[in-house]
Amino acid sequence: MGRFKQQLIHSEDRRRSVTRLANLLNAGVDVFCWCNRCGHHAELETPALIAQLGPNFPVPEIGARMRCSACGAKDIATRPAWPGQGWSDARSA
């Protein structure tokens, strides 16, 4: 592989770095959680998650440690709860 292509791949990898809890704390953003089985959703406060998981924990991996409080499923998706990114209930469409 050529040097130019390797540099391009490295720059793309750096750009796509995973958001960590410390990044959300600095931005004042919480974590949005969604149960893929029943659609139950909630926002968890970032400082509480940092106390349990540490500041360098990746946001997408939080769901693997959760269980839905409504149905008990372990299929939870997590992402930053950016303002204006509200949730969408596909069942009501």
Q: What is the mean pLDDT of the segment spanning 45-70?
A: 96
Measured CA to CA, the distance from residue 34 to residue 75 in angstroms comes to: 9
Token pair for 41 = 């959703």
Q: What is the pLDDT of residues 69-91, one digit of tens each?
A: 999 999 999 999 988 755 544 43
**Position 20: which residue type?**
R
What lies within 8 Å, CB to CB, of 82 at 6+ separation is 29
Predicted TM-score (pTM) of the model is 0.72
Q: What is the pLDDT of residues 3-17, one digit of tens each?
A: 888 877 777 766 667
In the prediction, which pLDDT does 14 show? Answer: 64
- Structural domains present in the chain: 21-82 (2.20.28)
Cβ neighbourhood burial of 13 (10 Å; 0-12, 13-18, 19+): exposed
